[in-house]
Amino acid sequence: MISSPGKTIKIIIADDHAVVRKGLIQIIDETPDLELIDQAGDGNELLAKLHGQDVDVLLLDINMPGQTGWEVMQKVHREYPDIKVVILSVSSEENYAKQFYKAGAVGYLTKDSAPEQLVEAIRKVFDGGIYVSQNFAEKMVHSIKNDSDKALHENLSPRELQIFCMIGAGKTLTEISAELNLGVGTVGTYRSRILAKTTLKNNAQITNYAFKNKLIQ
């Protein structure tokens, strides 16, 4: 299904892997109603390039150097509310998708998704919809019926999950507070909430859980 007749969907890509960007660009170039506006290799470059650009859809990698995908998405959501954000990740949907949807993303794709899935997602979010894969939708329905199957990190808010992953990656509360522009005490409060919600007991268990569940690379 092609989007609204006569409409060209303007896209910008943010991914630190040149090979991934090249593959995405090829898919866009081969699809008549899609147009690549620009590309960026990290969050800072993306935010600089968005200024003054007419963009409909952002394809955003969540694991980039500098600003994290969480931070970039929040800034885009705040400064460019009309841009539809589709997340690209090496992590399966059950690891991150729910939190990103809560934070404002309208699509989530793993990087091994078929080209037709990417095109379908772009067209759907451009037309005002939310792209959820059939596999993830089925898992969501199953989780509603079986709350006991919910992974520990699914209880976290988007900000809590962000800090959870930063702790899991070995960052100190001081480092996290500096990166997120939050007080050390505030980050400590988030850590306490995270431990309470997940029933994990310390940073070592957070790190172990994050690696085991592929929340960090």
Domains, in order of start, for the chain:
9-140 (3.40.50.2300), 151-212 (1.10.10.10)
Residue pLDDT, tens place only, 11-62: 999 998 899 999 999 999 999 999 999 999 988 899 999 988 899 999 998 8
* Residues in contact with 95: Cβ distance below 8 Å, sequence separation at least 6, in sequence order: 89, 151, 153, 213, 214, 215
Q: Is the dihedral of CA 198, 201, 202, 205 positive or negative?
A: negative
Residue pLDDT, tens place only, 66-104: 677 777 888 898 899 999 999 988 776 566 677 788 778
